[in-house]
Chain A
């Protein structure tokens, strides 16, 4: 069905179609609408979900953990400081191998307090052991959310999944979207049937036991192997979705990369903006392209190396600071991914769009201008810089 929805509406609608067993709910801008719309579905009786309102995000995630351990398909939504307050429980969910699905509507993490978009919240959770998938637009937010269940619940994976979209830009902007029929979605996600769960009375179970040094390392290796295994499963589920929707998704998306000499690597809604610049520059004969990272955990290192090895200069755009003093998180991991190549492109990092600072087609074009210079002269200049900020003595 073709319609027009905001990203939050699309995710709430996907939740309605999936009809999960439990939602742990606590509101925070800009994800508030997801539990809000969903509460209406609950009130209207169109879903049978146990909607648990909690006093904090630490508790909403705790509800999901307990429900998931009990055998329930559990969902949650949050943003920014809410995700930060869940931080401890994110690790518990992942290490207990509970396939909770969390809609993360990306917002700057305090401080200073700010409600607009960047990726500092979910990048802060990148090492929590969750699979992270980022949407460029509402369609992807909807599709990623639906795929997340099948990915996380796979027995060889058994990991929670964070389906991320950009706050306001994607969550609140209404775009055309193609929805699947509810029966199709339900057939696609199936029913959640874990092998072990607390309410299975014939098989008593203890979840999350104390784990000392004799065993902790082994359990972490299992977790690391599971997220590695999830890579193949993410692609398989994407293929299954393509079969019913005609929409194709990979770990990364390459746009005009076949013969590209200059490329951007970036995440989320800015990819849509940058694609317009790429197409415009292509019409002017420039060999430019971009790689959108859809899946950040597991990190698509081989895929990025494959996509970028033939380029001359690459700018990695980070919508989050990591205060390492030498680049953002996407840059650090992309650069690491290219290290084993026999020949590598010149790589620079630009941290952009923090706290909702605009990223426009002009912004993308200016990056390509700089890349063209680097490719021509071989001089990178500072490898790590910020863009879009006012700087003394220069025009903005």
Chain B
């Protein structure tokens, strides 16, 4: 039973799983999809009240939370859709053009 972390582009077919099955949860975490980002959110910490509204709205679970506070974006998974900016009641999020994190 091959682990996801041991599957790479040099793995021979004999070692792969039938149908590409993955035998553990949460492996999308290790997959960098942040390169697909078109626009990039910026968090203004001084305006953020940690109301947590942006967290469940994020379609990519790219807003980590620790001890009741939201942290900066997980740019390995954020695609820049801007939903967080739209739902933020405190204008604490702005969107920059392009995928680059400044």
Contact = CB atoms under 8 A, between A and B. Distances in A.
Given A204-B25, A206-B27, A218-B11, A226 B18 contact: yes
B20 interface: yes
Contacts of B23: 196, 203-205
A211 B25 CA distance: 17
B19 A218 contact: no
Max chain B C-beta neighbours (<10 A), residue from A95, A158, A209: A209
Contacts of B7: 215
Interface in A207-247: 207-209, 211, 214-215, 217-219, 221-222, 226
A157 to B, nearest CB: 10
Interface residues of B, number: 15
Interface in A96-122: 96-98
Given A218-B12, A221-B13, A222-B13, A97 B18 contact: yes
Contacts, number: 49
Max chain A C-beta neighbours (<10 A), residue from B11, B13, B19, B21: B19
Contact of A208 (B9, B11, B19, B24): B19
Q: DSSP class of A's interface residues: helix, strand, loop or mixed?
A: loop
Contact of B20 (A98, A196, A203, A211): A211
Interface in B8-66: 9, 11-13, 16, 18-25, 27
Interface in A325-346: none
Interface residue range, chain A: 20 to 34
Contacts of B20: 208-209, 211, 215, 219
Interface in A55-109: 95-98
Given A206-B27, A214-B9, A219 B16 contact: yes
B23 to A, nearest CB: 6
Contacts of A206: 21-22, 25, 27
B22 to A, nearest CB: 4
B80 to A, nearest CB: 20
Nearest to A210: B20
Nearest to B13: A218
Contacts of B27: 206
Q: DSSP class of B's interface residues: helix, strand, loop or mixed?
A: loop
B58 to A, nearest CB: 21
B19 A96 contact: yes
Given A218-B11, A222-B13, A158 B18 contact: yes
Max chain A C-beta neighbours (<10 A), residue from B12, B20, B25: B20
A222 B14 CA distance: 7
A209 B12 contact: no
Contacts of A207: 19, 21
Contact of B16 (A96, A98, A215): A215
Nearest to B4: A206
Given A214-B9, A218-B13, A222-B13, A97 B19 contact: yes
Contact of B18 (A211, A215, A222): A222
Given A204-B23, A205-B22, A215-B16, 4 more contacts: A97-B21, A204-B25, A218-B13, A219-B19
Interface of A: 95-98, 158, 196, 203-209, 211, 214-215, 217-219, 221-222, 226
8 contacts: A97-B18, A208-B19, A209-B22, A215-B16, A217-B13, A219-B16, A222-B13, A226-B18
